[in-house]
Chain A
Amino acid sequence: MTLKLGVPSKGRLMEKTFDWFAQRGIILQRSGSDREYAGAVAGIEGVSLILLSAGEIPRELAAGRIHMGVTGTDLVQEKLALWEQLVEPVEELGFGHADLIIAVPKAWIDVDTLDDLDAAAAAFRAAHGFRLRIATKYHRLVRNFLRDSGVADYALVDSQGATEGTVANETAEAIADITSSGETLRANHLKILGDAMVLRSQATLWRSRTAPVDDRVRKTLKELEARLG
C-alpha cells in the first residue's frame, strides 16, 4: 500500500504546495499534460500524489481514501462535523491565509459590531418584513458563530461565488466570506465588522484519522512527518 497524499489540483494553492514540499526535498509533479490530473512524487518512496479539488479534500480525508491532504482550515471545519475526530493537523503551511469574516456596507455608519448587527437585523425585519440576509457559502460556520454570539433575525442565503457583489445586487444585505487582503471588500464598498472574526484559516497539511494503514504506510508516514516537521 502506498501513502496517498491529496493536493489541490490547480492554481496558486497547488503551486505553493508543490514549492513547500520541494523545499523539504519532496518533488511533487503533475504528470503528462497540464490537463491531466495525475501526479508523480520524487525524493521519497511509497507516496502517491492524488490531485483533487481543495473542497473535496476534507471529505476524502474523512472517508479515509487519502492518508494526508492539503486544504484550508475553513473547508475542513465547514464540511466536517466533529472534524477533530476525523482529521488531525500536521503542519500549517504558512500560505493561503484567509479569514472568514462578516462584512456590511461601508455606508452603514451605525453598524460596527455584532451587537449593532443584531439590532440592525431586528429593525430591518420590522421595517422590511423579512430577515436581514447574509450571503455565504460557509453556512455551518457562520450559523454556529452567530448563534454563539446571540445574533437573531437574520437568514443565510447561499452564494457560491462573487459573494461581495450580492449586496449591490440586492440579493443580500451583508456577507460572510473569506478575505485575505480585504481589497475585494473595499472595491465593493463593504467593511468588516470588528468583532466578527468567524475563523482564521490557512493552507494546512492534515492527516486522516480514519485511513487504513499498513506497515509500509506507517513507515512512510513516519519518514514524511520527520522531514516535514
Chain B
Amino acid sequence: MPTRSETLVRAAGLRAMFEAQGALLVEPPILQPATTLLELYGEDMRARAYVTSDALRGEQMLRPDFTVPVVQMHMAEGAEPARYTYSGEVFRRQEEDPDRANEYIQVGYEVFDRADPAAADAEVFALIAEALRGLPLRAVTGDIGVLMAAVQGLQTSARRRQALMRHIWRPRRFRALLDRFSGRAPVPPSRAALLAGQAATDAPLIGLRSRADIEERIAALHEDAATPPLSGREVEQIEALLDVREVMPHALSQLHDLAVDMPDIAAAVARVTAREAALRARGVDTDNLMFEASYGRSSMEYYDGFVFGFRAEARADLPTIASGGRYDALTRRLGQGREIPAVGGVMRPGLMLELEGAP
C-alpha cells in the first residue's frame, strides 16, 4: 500500500498537469453545509457521507466530493470560461465493505465552457486517459442524455414521462414504472378499489399533507388509469437502448438505427457522434472504446450527459480508479437562475500507485 506522502506527491503531479492546461487551483473547505448536499441527493446522502454538527452552524458534512463546492464557487464568482483543478481528501461512509477506504485523496479537473461541449468532454477524458496511460485499466463511456431523450419522446402523458425521468437513476424503480405504464404489472388491489371509488375512511386527517394534496393525487391516478398503456414497441425500444453495450463504432451504428424509430433521440445521438470525433481528434482509440447506454445510472444523480469510468481489469475488488461526466443540470440547480455547461472528472492517485506497484 502506498503511504500518504507518496500519494500526495502523485496527487501534486496530476494537479500540475491540469494547471499546465490553464486550470485554476481551488481548495474548497473540508466541512460543507449539509443542507445543500441533502437538498440535492436526499436521504441517501447520509448513508454515503459523514455528518457532524454544532449548535451554531447546524449540520455539516465532511466533503464527499469536490464537484458540488466547485460548482457553487464558480456560479457565485467564476469567470467564463473556466477550468479548475483540486486535490485533497474526500470522505465516504463505508458500512458494507471494510476493505473500502472511507478517506482518500482525489484529484480532479472541471471545465465550465459554453463553446464546444463535445470538445470539452473529449478534453477531460483524454487528459485523464493520458495520466492513466500504462495502467491495466479498461475505460467505459456512456451518455445519460440519450436515455433521457428517449423517455422525453415517449408517446404517453407528461406525468408518466416525469415519473420515469425522476427515476432514471434508480434502475429498479424505473423498470417497475415501465412495467406498470405498459400494463405488464397488475394494478394493486388497493389502487383498483380507490379508482372504483371504494376507498373511504372516517379517520381524521392528521399531519401536513392536506386534503387538497390527497385529492390531487387521486385525480392524477384517475388520469393515469384513463391513459392508454405504453405500447409494447416503445418499451422494447427503451430496452434495446439500455442494452447497447459495444465498442464505439458498433454502438454508434446501433444508436443510429434506434434513432430511426425514436426520432427524439436523434439530437442526443448526434452529440455522441460529435464526441466520438472529438475524442478521436484528441488521439483516443475510439475503435476500442466501450460505450454502454446504461453506464452511470446507479451512481450519484448529477450526470446528465457524457459519463465515463476507468476500472482495473484484473482487480474487480478495487473501486473505480477515475470517473467523471457532464453535469449541466447541476449548474442550473446551484446557479440560482444561471447555468453553464460543465464537465469534469476525478482520479484516485492512491489506487494508481497501488496498481503501479503491483508486480
- Please list the residues of chain A having a beta carbon within 8 angstroms of any beta carbon in chain B: 81-82, 105-110, 112-113, 115-116, 118-120, 122-124, 127-128, 131-132, 139-140, 143-144, 146-156, 167-168, 170, 172-173, 188-189, 194
Contact = CB atoms under 8 A, between A and B. Distances in A.
Top 5 A-B pairs ranked by shortest CB distance? A150-B173, A112-B190, A106-B203, A81-B95, A107-B205
B28 to A, nearest CB: 25
B213 A167 contact: no
B241 to A, nearest CB: 20
Contact of A143 (B46, B176, B199, B205): B46
Interface in B174-227: 174, 176, 180, 188, 190-191, 194, 199-201, 203-209, 213-214, 216-218, 220-221
A146 B218 CA distance: 23
B207 A143 contact: no
Contacts of B216: 123, 127
Contacts of B217: 110, 119-120, 123
A109 B207 contact: no
B44 A105 contact: no
B100 interface: no
B214 A150 contact: no
19 contacts: A82-B96, A105-B206, A106-B201, A106-B203, A108-B209, A109-B194, A110-B194, A110-B217, A112-B194, A115-B180, A119-B217, A120-B213, A143-B43, A144-B47, A150-B173, A152-B42, A152-B166, A152-B167, A173-B208
B163 interface: yes
A147 B288 CA distance: 35
B280 interface: no
Nearest to B162: A122
B307 to A, nearest CB: 20
B250 interface: no
Interface residues of B, number: 39
Nearest to B170: A150
B43 A112 contact: no
Question: Which of B174, B204, B217, B220 has the most chain A CB within a 10 Å cutoff?
Answer: B217
B214 A107 contact: yes
A73 B235 CA distance: 42
A207 B206 CA distance: 44
Given A82-B98, A108-B209, A143 B194 contact: no
B172 interface: yes
Interface centre among B38, B46, B208 (most CB of A within 10 A): B208
Nearest to B166: A122
Contact of B209 (A118, A173, A188): A173
Contacts of A189: 203-204, 206
Interface string B45-58: 01100000000000
B213 A155 contact: no
Contacts of A155: 38, 42-43
B98 A105 contact: no
A153 B38 CA distance: 10
Instruction: Tell which of A109, A146, A153 has the most Cβ of chain B within 10 Å.
Output: A109
B201 A109 contact: yes
Contacts of B205: 105, 107
A212 B191 CA distance: 55
B225 to A, nearest CB: 13
